[in-house]
Amino acid sequence: MLTVDFDRLGLQPGERVLDLGCGAGRHAFEMYRRGADVVAFDQDAEELAHVRDLFVAMAEAGEVPLGAEADVEEGDALSLPFADGEFDRIVAAEILEHVPADIAAIEELVRVLRPGGTIALTVPRWLPELVCWKLSDDYHNTPGGHIRIYSDAELITKATNAGLAYDGKHYAHGLHAPYWWIKCAVGVHNDDHPVAKAYHRLLVWDIMKRPRATRWAERVLNPLIGKSLVVYLHKPAASESADLDQSVADAS
């Protein structure tokens, strides 16, 4: 289940890409399949071990283009072990809502992104997330859980203040918001509740089969209650930055 639109991100084969907070690796695997040189980055060593194993299995099964590379890296989002401008593309999916120093994390992402490179930031969307918080304290009051609810404007402003240029946004996973509302209403850890179990089966079926009816339903629901906000930005090249500075000076 992908949140990021890689065509919109501009991903090309052979580019060096970073998946920050990769988790189980869903975006890293897709970028690898598309022929990128992928670094899956996280602070969970156990999860990274599984991601590395699947990278190896994908290569052995011939699921990736010749020359594509993938590796994992454990570390801290506030101190990335990479050179300035090392990456062509960056994905940071559903991670910033967990990070107390989110501005510092964004600044690190800007540092390691090359001028002209693009980045996709995704976070839980304000309204669906607010409903979850209202329904259940257990949803967010957990170690390593969500510590803030972003509005679109807040995320975009923090990113542009860090030196990125805004390119656009979309919302994703409209079918998933009701599932989390149900979970919060019946108990976040109550996986055996019949309504939660039934809706979970629906989501698994949708992910596996991707029928036309649910694809249409999600397209309708995404603008209304899409669970995730996805923001696309780029790091201005030197010439673009100079043009922007000149425009500001002319306006003043």
**pLDDT over 70 for what percent of the chain?**
94
Q: What CA–CA distance (Å, rounded) separates 117 from 43?
A: 24
The residue written with tokens 């425009």 in the block is: 247
Q: For strand 165-172 and strand 228-234, is the pairing parallel, antiparallel, or unpaired?
A: antiparallel
User: Would you tell me how many other CB atoms lie within 10 Å of the CB of residue 165?
Assistant: 15
pLDDT of 149: 98
| Per-residue pLDDT tens digits for 89-118 | 999 999 999 999 999 999 999 999 999 999
Q: What CA–CA distance (Å, rounded) separates 135 from 146?
A: 14
Q: What CA–CA distance (Å, rounded) separates 246 from 240?
A: 10
User: Mind listing the domains of the chain with CATH numbers?
Assistant: 6-125+144-173+227-238 (3.40.50.150)
| Per-residue pLDDT tens digits for 164-207 | 999 999 999 999 999 999 999 999 999 999 999 999 999 999 99
pTM, to two decimals: 0.92
pLDDT of 242: 55
Query: What's the average model confidence in pLDDT over 56-72?
Result: 97
